[in-house]
Amino acid sequence: MALVAHYDLELHQMDVKTTFLNGDLYENVFMAQPKGFVMEGKENLGCRLKKSIYGLKQASRQWYLKFDETVRSFGFEENVEDNCIYAKFKNGKFIFLVLYVDYILLASSDMSMLLETKSFLSSNFDMKDLGEASYVLGIEIYRDRKKGVLDLSQKAYIENVLRRYSMHECGISPAPIIKGDVFGNFQCPKTKYEIYRMKSVTYTSAVGCIMYAQVCTRPDLAFTTGMLGRYQKNLGIEYWKAVEKALRYLQGTKSLMLSYRKSDAHKIVGYSDADWAGCKDTRRYTSGYIFTLAGGAISWRSLKQTIVALSTMYVEFIACYEVTGQALWLKKFILGLKVVDNI
Nearest to 38 by CA among 25, 49, 47: 47
The whole-angstrom separation of Cα 184 and Cα 180 is 13
The whole-angstrom separation of Cα 74 and Cα 87 is 11
* Mutual angle of helices 192-199 and 237-253, in 10-degree steps: 30
The whole-angstrom separation of Cα 158 and Cα 293 is 25
What is the pTM for the complete model shown?
Answer: 0.77
Quick one: pLDDT at residue 229?
Answer: 83
Residue 10 pLDDT more than 70?
A: no
The whole-angstrom separation of Cα 298 and Cα 213 is 14
Helix (H, G, I), strand (E, B) or coil at 211: helix
Give the tens place of pLDDT for each residue, 127-184: 888 888 888 888 899 988 888 888 999 999 999 999 998 888 888 888 888 877 777 7
Q: Would strands 257-261 and 139-144 be described as parallel, antiparallel, or unpaired? A: unpaired
Give the tens place of pLDDT for each residue, 105-130: 898 888 998 999 998 988 888 888 88
Q: What's the average model confidence in pLDDT over 90-109?
A: 87
